[in-house]
Structures are given as structure tokens and as C-alpha cells.
Structure 1
Amino acid sequence: MVNLSNDLTPKKMRKNILHLAWPAALRMFLQSIVGIVDIIMVGSIGAHALATVDISNRFVFITVGVLSSLTIGATALVARFKGAKDEEQVEKVIIQSLLTGAILSILIAVLGFVFAKPILNLMMILMDEVDPYILNNGNIYLKIVFTSMLFALPTLMFNSILQGLGDMRTPLYIMVTTNIINVVGNYIFIFGIGPIPEMGVAGAAIGTGLGRLVGFLLAGYVLLSKKTLIKVSFNSGKWKIDWKILKEILHIGLPASIEELVRRGSQIIYTILVAGLGTITIAANAVVMNINSLPIMLGFGFGLASTTLVGQSLGANKKKLAEAYGKQTTIVALFLMILISIPMFIWVEFIIRLYTNNVEVISMSKPVVRLIIVAQPLYGIFLVLAGALRGAGDTRYTMITTIIGNLGGRILSSLFFGYVLNLGLMGFWLGMVLDIGSRTVLIFFRFLSKKWQKIYEQRENTKTIFTK
């Protein structure tokens, strides 16, 4: 449970923030590290393998991102009712969230498996000629990864519920175990050990699926063993769709999902545009994206903590405390992101060489990586304040800022810099920086306006809506 006492000094608040945020930040950070290790392993096979996994993952990321954002509705409501000490409503939200996760996981797995090859053809539509290596190996990769969504989404929903309750450590432990299995599985199946043959790109997908399966089993064990803050009855009468509760979860989660759909969708368009410049550019972009993810995950972790802190503070009817937690979380996250960005900027070439020895890829990606590292602390501000607004249920505004930033900043400016000015990959990432800058300014002034507190007040009737 978050510390909601009235005598909190800034120093005590920062201590509480770090206590809550470090497991979430470390979990996201480790998730990023595993993605980096995966790409390093695949990159050792060659530029074509690296390009295959990058193109395939663009669509996987949009799916996971959209569904992860949907869980924000569960996190915000659980945090709100936990802060209000309304355990009955907490249980109702938990049950509906778990049911939703199970149903959506089946739907996504089936659709992804069936449409794997058309997805890859779409991603390479601007190429003069579709790369057969990417098409064939990517098709296998996507079918395996989408099948593993049967385990991934319920685990994401389980973790989001724990976050709303203020338990950031259990999701961390699950993620650590999942990541270890993922990395070990990738090494075994990508390169082959003993009787297990070398599987290359397909092996990377198997390692990912194995990790997700283990994470799902661990989440199920924790839930059934009751060694968690989640307290639910397994009475069959409670485990059915309740449209009133589901509507409230979607009211908060759906705008966040649309926001993520726009963000990830713009990345799909972005990747298609990059693919039109050739396989080497795709590989260089994959390197930049992965290095970029390292500090971003730290920001995402503090954003999750901000959602819980603000949500529980508002649930306890402490608006000033919610605002103070939002500000202090931003300060701490900004400091840490600057701290991690400095060594990354200095040793950028060393980091890139962990991915590839291809001279063209290194030359193309080096200045781009430095550009995006400079912009990362700014993005940290956005992630934390957006998390604060989500904790208040103000997800529509964050959705609007993402639409403006991605369509106006990322896509249009990327086309201008990348194609019109012929700056190539650097031009695309200049567009990304404009996107980050515009969204940060918009979200910063929204937080200062305190309109998110009024939106919470308007939704205050959710404490009784489920029983009407």
C-alpha cells in the first residue's frame, strides 16, 4: 500500500517513490536488456536475420503495446478503490480484468497466426522486391510469437493488477524468471546445443514463447497460492462478464490503447518507410531502436509508479498529495535518465558494436543513436506525467497528445527530413525528436492545469456504479 500520510516531506516522498518505482523500473529495464540480448544474438547471424526480426517485431510490438495499455484501466481502478479502502470493488475489477485478458489472448493468437505472411508483405510494400529471406523466416517467427500471446496477455493483466495494489516486486520476480528462460532458450534454439539443431530466427521466437509460458505459469501459481495482495473468490458465480465493470475499465483503458495503437501504428508506417531504403538501413534502425529502448524503459517504470501513486492518492481524496507525487516522481526519473544517458552518449560506438560488426550499419547508426540519447530525458518527463494523468483517469488527453505528436511530429516530419531533404535514417529520427518534444510540452501544461483532478471528480460515481 502506498504511503498516503499527511506529513510527507519531499525527501520522504522521494524515498516512497523509489521504494515503489525501482521494482517497476528494473522490470522494464530488464525487459529491454533481454530484447537487446535477443537482437545481439540474432545480429550475429547476419544483417538479413537482424532485419527479419526487426520487421516482424514491429507488428508484435504494436499488439503487445495496445493490449498492455488496455491494462491501464485495471491498474487505475484497482489503485483508486484500494486508496478508498473499498475491497469489494477491488475484487470485482480484478475478476473482470483477468477474464478480459484471457478472452483477448485467444483472439490475438488466432488472428496473428492466420495473418502472419500478409503482415510481412505489408511491411515490405515499399521495397523494389520483397526479400524472400525476411518473408519466409519472418512468417515462422510471427506464427510462433503470436501463439505465445496466449500466455503473455494474461500475465500482463495479472501484473497490472498488482501494480494498482502497490505490489511492484512480484511482477519483477516474474519478469526476471521469464527473462532468464527467454535468454537461455534463445541461445539454445538460435545456435543449437547438443541434439537441438541450430534454428536461427525461428529459435529466437521459440525462446520468447518459452519465457512467456513460464511467466504465465508463475503468475497462475502466485494467484492460486494466495501469496499476493490479490484476494479473490473463485466462486463460479462471480466469474462471468459484468458489463458495468468492463465499461468502466474500458473507459480508462481504451483511450490508452488507442494512444498506443497510434504510437505503434506510426512506428509501423515509419518502419515501412525505412524498409524502402534497403536492408542495411533496416538493420541500422533495429540497432538504434534497441539502444533507444534502454533509458525509455526506465521512464516507463517510473510512469507505472506515477499511475499507482496518483491513483491511490486521489482514491484517498488527497489531491495535493497526488499532485506532489506527480512532481516528485518526475524529478527523480529525470535525474536518473540524465545519469544513464551520459555514459551511453560517450561510449556509443562500443554499444553499437555489441550488435554488429557491419561497418555500414555502425556508420549509419552512430550519429542517430547520439541524437536520440540527448532527447531521452525529455521523453522521461512525458512518460511520468502521462502516468500521473492515467492514474486520475485522464487517458483521453494523453491519447490526443500522442495523435498530434505522432502524426504531426513523427510521420510528416520524418517524410520531410528523410525523403524530401534526403537525410535518410537521420531524418526519420529527427522526426521522432519533434514528436517527443511536442508531446512533452502538451502533457506538461496539462498537468500544471490540474484539469486531470476535475476529470477524476467527474468519475467519482464509479465507486457506486457497479452496484446500481
Structure 2
Amino acid sequence: MPGILSLFRDRETLHKIRVLALPSVVEEALNTVVQYVDTAMVGQIGATASAAVGLTMTCNWLICSPLWAMGVGILACVARSIGAGEREKARRYAFQSLWIGGVLGVLIAVLVQLLAPQIPVWLGAEPEIRADASAYFAIICMPMLFRALSILLSATLRSAGDSKTPMKINMSANILNMILNYLLIHPTHAVRIAGLRFTVWGAGLGVRGAAAATALAFALSGTLMFAAYLRHPMLSPLGHRGETGILPNPALLKDILHIGLPSAGERLTACLGQVVFTSLVSGLGTVSLAAHSIALTAEEAFYIPGYGMQAAAATLAGNALGEKNVKKLQRTSVTIAFLAFTIMGLMGIILFCFPSVMMGIFTNDSAVIALGSVALRIVAVSEPLFGVAIIMEGVFNGIGETKTTFLFSAFTMWGIRILFTFLCVRVFGLGLTAVWCCMVADNVARCLLLCAKFMRGRWKSKVAA
């Protein structure tokens, strides 16, 4: 394993990491700001509204998991082709994202509209939040076709080293979301600016207004991402119909699915676990569910660096695989993992010191703030290791070792988080604090397993083959 100091003397590697990771970090930060604004605006309505929105958060992750998984497959295949100098093959792989996005987008949208009324009931939500939770989930999933294209084409652009375009597009969508949130959630009201009084129109739709704002932002993001893909000089099918074709390519789809299906299994297993996890928390009552949901949102800001650098780790790993360069893959992976550990460690200290400030951004309910603050202090301790786990997942995904992440994620989610949460809540009658300890145990165990797999080095035979 190369020394840490020698890694940071490699200016070329650091430059590549910066170019790929910085736009993604900025994008993650912007997404988190929007999530903060959404949660804060809904939180002003009350704990019941916060619980209604938070209840379906994990279901949202679940239904998007196949899209993120196929994005992993597309990114790995395109990045590997580019690393091997096979640009025409990279273009053909990229074109498959349109078919995958179209089919999955339509199927998921229809499925959600059919199941949305029953989901809050299945999750054990209290009757007063079921109607809003169902409506929120159904509305944000209506433009799923656009959302699918946004996710898959974003992965396609990143695999070609273009992180700036997805960042700019998501920035535009996020700005629209915040503006529409303000106008659609609250009723018409007076605002004073510099001593002047203005009347601002508002639809007064509450939770449904927040959902409509999010849905329209997804539609904009998907449209702009599709336009950016068509303009990309390396990936666009325009002007290359003879080589690319307009029909799906079974051989290329097989390659994507070979990587994407284990990743889909990993994400579905993890997200389904999150749904079960939330259902166990919902049994603790509305205050605990609100505190849990808001604390999860508050924590998002503190793992921005990890997820922002994950795409860079996957892209560089895929490039190294195409080049058959083991040393390059190891060097870039360790460098990004160390950066994530350091940065998220510093952010974990901030989270540990100021949890009540973070909770106070989203709600005025003192009981919710107090309970959520304890949860945030618990998770703050594990942030550095969580960052390393995120990067290692990106590395293994980038070289197509998605079975590894699937098996480890399934084991830690169900064998640690869910099992021990069930025992804590249903058997021993413990509260939210014990639940978050189980969540931290899951994250730490996954980090240790992924690092052990990486250090054993069996993946090197695949890269050098």
C-alpha cells in the first residue's frame, strides 16, 4: 500500500480527482440545501407534516434504487471503454441509457400510482399523516420518466469525465424547486423588505405543494439532462446513427445488466431495509418519527464529501480497468478514501458539537429537537468510516465488482441494522437512541468489510487480465 505522503505528491492524480469530484461535491451540497429548504418549509407546518414527508423518504430511495443501479452499470461500462480507447463502444453503451431510462421510468411511475394509497398503511403510520404521506409520494413520482433520464444520463456524462454539466443542471432544477416551494406551500401572505410591505401570492397547498414543486424540478432536470447528452461530442448518437443504431443492443445491455443487477440487488436490499427500518421507527410515535426523519435530513450535509467523491472514485477506477493499470487504480482509490476520511472526520466534529442547531433549522418543536440532537451526536462519531465505505463502494462499482457491495450491504443492513433494531424496539422496548446506534453499527461494519476486501487485493487479477 503506497504511503500517504507519496500519494499527495502525485499532482496528476490529485488534479483528476479535483476536476471530477469538486463539481459533484458542489452538486451534492446544492441538493442538500434544497432538501434542507424543503424540510424547513414543511417543518413550519408542524411535526405531523414533517412525519408525513419523512415517512415516504425511504420508499423514495427504494423505487429509485433500480435507476441508480443501472447508472452504476452504465458508468462502469462507459468509463472502461474510454479508458481502453474504444470511444465508439462508449457511445453505444451511453445510448442504451435511453432505453433503460424509458422502460424503468414508465414502469415505476405506474407502479407507484397504484400502490401510493396503501404504502403509509403498510408502514404503520398513524392515521392523521396517511393522506398527506400518500399524496406526497404519488405526486413526486409522477414525472418518473424525467427523473430516470436525469439519473442515468447524469451517470453517463460523469463516466466521460463531465461532472460540471450535471452540476449546472441540478443547480437550475434546485433553484426552481426552492422558488416553487415558497409559492406552493404557503398561502398568500405579506412580506416586509427594507420597511416596504409586499403581498406575495401563495397556493397554500402545504405538503402537496412541496410535492408539486419537487415534481416540476424533476421534469426540468430530466429535460435539460437529455439535451446535454445530445450535445455531448463523445456520447451523442446524433450524426452516428449508422454505428449506434436506434434499437437496444442486447450484447451491450447484457454487459450493463451484468454489473447493474447486483448493484440493483444491493440497493433494493438496502432500501427495503430502510423501509423496514422506518416502519420500526414509526411504531415509536409521531415525535420519534419526525425526529428521525429530520435528523436524517440534517445528517445529509455531513456526508456530502463522500458521495460527491464517489462518482470520481468509480470513474477513475473504471478508466484504470480499461487501461489495465493496477497501480493507478490502487493509488487513486486510496487517495480519495483518505480525503473522504479526513474531510468527513472534520465535519463529524462539527455535527457532534452543534446538533441542536442543525435540528433547529427544520423545526421549532422542542421535543423533536432534543430527541434528534441525541441521534445526530451518535452518528457523528461514525462519519469518517462512513466516508471510506462510500468511496470503497464507488471503487468496486467502477470496476464492476458489484456483487461485493451487494453481499456486504445485505449482510450489514439485515444482519445488523434491522435485526438489532427489531430487538431494541420490539423486544427490549428501547427508543430512538438505540435505533441510531444500530444504524451506526451497520455503517462501521460495512466500512471494515469493504476495506478488508480491498486490502486483500483479489480484485487486482480482474484489472490486470
Per the normalisation by structure 2, the TM-score is: 0.92
The SS at the match of 2:203 is coil
Residue range with higher mean Cα deviation, 388-397 or 19-28: 19-28
The SS at the match of 1:71 is helix
One-letter amino acid of the structure 2 residue matched with residue 58 of structure 1: T
Q: 1:197 to 1:77 in 2, by over 3 A?
A: same
**Hey, what's the Cα distance between the residues in 2 that align with 1:256 and 1:191?**
40
Residues 267-286 of structure 1: pairs in structure 2 closer than 5 A = 267-286=274-293
**Hey, what's the Cα distance between the residues in 1 that align with 2:234 and 2:434?**
48
C-alpha deviation, 1:252, in angstroms: 0.6
Is contact 1:393–1:456 with CA below 8 Å preserved after alignment?
no
One-letter amino acid of the structure 2 residue matched with residue 295 of structure 1: F
Residue range with higher mean Cα deviation, 144-153 or 409-418: 409-418
**Hey, what's the Cα distance between the residues in 2 that align with 1:160 and 1:457?**
25
Is contact 2:53–2:133 with CA below 8 Å preserved after alignment?
yes
Hey, what does 1:62 align to over in structure 2?
62
Residue range with higher mean Cα deviation, 405-414 or 188-197: 188-197
C-alpha deviation, 1:419, in angstroms: 3.8
Deviations along 1:210-268, one digit per CA (max 9) or x if unpaired, are: 111111221132233x2554232363881212211111101111111111111111110
C-alpha deviation, 1:169, in angstroms: 0.7
Hey, what does 1:334 align to over in structure 2?
341
Is contact 2:27–2:308 with CA below 8 Å preserved after alignment?
yes
Is contact 1:418–1:426 with CA below 8 Å preserved after alignment?
no
User: Which runs of no fewer than 5 residues in structure 2 stay unpaired?
Assistant: 1-6, 189-199
Pick aligned residue for 2:409 from 402, 409, 412: 402
**Is 1:248 equivalent to 2:255 in the alignment?**
yes
**Hey, what's the Cα distance between the residues in 1 that align with 2:54 and 2:450?**
30
Hey, what does 1:450 align to over in structure 2?
457
The SS at the match of 1:261 is helix
Hey, what does 1:315 align to over in structure 2?
322
**Hey, what's the Cα distance between the residues in 1 that align with 2:8 and 2:282?**
52
Residues 271-420 of structure 1: pairs in structure 2 closer than 5 A = 271-420=278-427
**Is 1:209 equivalent to 2:210 in the alignment?**
no
CA-atom RMSD in angstroms: 1.8
C-alpha deviation, 1:115, in angstroms: 1.2
Hey, what does 1:466 align to over in structure 2?
none
One-letter amino acid of the structure 2 residue matched with residue 91 of structure 1: R
**Is 1:169 equivalent to 2:175 in the alignment?**
no
**Hey, what's the Cα distance between the residues in 2 that align with 1:337 and 1:10?**
22
C-alpha deviation, 1:420, in angstroms: 3.3
C-alpha deviation, 1:345, in angstroms: 1.9
**Hey, what's the Cα distance between the residues in 2 that align with 1:366 and 1:74?**
39
**Hey, what's the Cα distance between the residues in 2 that align with 1:348 and 1:229?**
46
One-letter amino acid of the structure 2 residue matched with residue 27 of structure 1: E
Deviations along 1:133-190, one digit per CA (max 9) or x if unpaired, are: 3221122212211112121111111100011111111111111111111111111111
Hey, what does 2:266 align to over in structure 1?
259
Q: 1:456 to 1:113 in 2, by over 3 A?
A: farther
**Hey, what's the Cα distance between the residues in 2 that align with 1:243 and 1:223?**
22
**Is 1:52 equivalent to 2:52 in the alignment?**
yes
One-letter amino acid of the structure 1 residue matched with residue 57 of structure 2: N
The number of equivalent residue pairs is 446
**Hey, what's the Cα distance between the residues in 2 that align with 1:241 and 1:59?**
30
Q: 1:229 to 1:338 in 2, by over 3 A?
A: farther
C-alpha deviation, 1:69, in angstroms: 2.1
Residues 108-119 of structure 1: pairs in structure 2 closer than 5 A = 108-119=108-119
Q: 1:388 to 1:289 in 2, by over 3 A?
A: same
**Hey, what's the Cα distance between the residues in 1 that align with 2:262 and 2:287?**
36
C-alpha deviation, 1:422, in angstroms: 3.0
Pick aligned residue for 1:184 from 163, 169, 179: 179
Hey, what does 1:197 align to over in structure 2?
203
Identity within the alignment, %: 29
**Structure 1 runs (4+) greater than 4 angstroms displaced:** 193-196
Is contact 1:25–1:300 with CA below 8 Å preserved after alignment?
yes
One-letter amino acid of the structure 1 residue matched with residue 217 of structure 2: G
One-letter amino acid of the structure 2 residue matched with residue 104 of structure 1: L
**Is 1:135 equivalent to 2:130 in the alignment?**
yes
**Is 1:39 equivalent to 2:39 in the alignment?**
yes
**Hey, what's the Cα distance between the residues in 2 that align with 1:228 and 1:212?**
25
**Hey, what's the Cα distance between the residues in 2 that align with 1:413 and 1:430?**
9
Hey, what does 1:239 align to over in structure 2?
246
Q: 1:97 to 1:220 in 2, by over 3 A?
A: closer
Is contact 1:394–1:455 with CA below 8 Å preserved after alignment?
no
C-alpha deviation, 1:444, in angstroms: 0.1
User: Which runs of no fewer than 5 residues in structure 1 stay unpaired?
Assistant: 1-6, 459-468
Hey, what does 1:22 align to over in structure 2?
22
C-alpha deviation, 1:287, in angstroms: 1.4
Is contact 2:75–2:156 with CA below 8 Å preserved after alignment?
yes
**Hey, what's the Cα distance between the residues in 2 that align with 1:118 and 1:454?**
48
Deviations along 1:297-350, one digit per CA (max 9) or x if unpaired, are: 321121111000111012112111011100001111111112222222212111
**Hey, what's the Cα distance between the residues in 1 that align with 2:459 and 2:140?**
38
**Hey, what's the Cα distance between the residues in 2 that align with 1:437 and 1:99?**
37
Deviations along 1:427-446, one digit per CA (max 9) or x if unpaired, are: 11111111111111110011
**Hey, what's the Cα distance between the residues in 2 that align with 1:248 and 1:427?**
42
Per the normalisation by structure 1, the TM-score is: 0.91
One-letter amino acid of the structure 1 residue matched with residue 137 of structure 2: L
**Hey, what's the Cα distance between the residues in 2 that align with 1:58 and 1:437?**
20
C-alpha deviation, 1:9, in angstroms: 4.2
Q: 1:228 to 1:359 in 2, by over 3 A?
A: farther
**Hey, what's the Cα distance between the residues in 2 that align with 1:399 and 1:247?**
19
Hey, what does 2:103 align to over in structure 1?
103
The SS at the match of 1:240 is coil
The SS at the match of 1:166 is coil
**Is 1:83 equivalent to 2:88 in the alignment?**
no
Residue range with higher mean Cα deviation, 256-265 or 184-193: 184-193
Residue range with higher mean Cα deviation, 331-340 or 245-254: 331-340
**Hey, what's the Cα distance between the residues in 2 that align with 1:296 and 1:216?**
25
The SS at the match of 1:451 is coil
Hey, what does 1:462 align to over in structure 2?
none
**Hey, what's the Cα distance between the residues in 1 that align with 2:440 and 2:51?**
23
**Hey, what's the Cα distance between the residues in 2 that align with 1:187 and 1:61?**
25
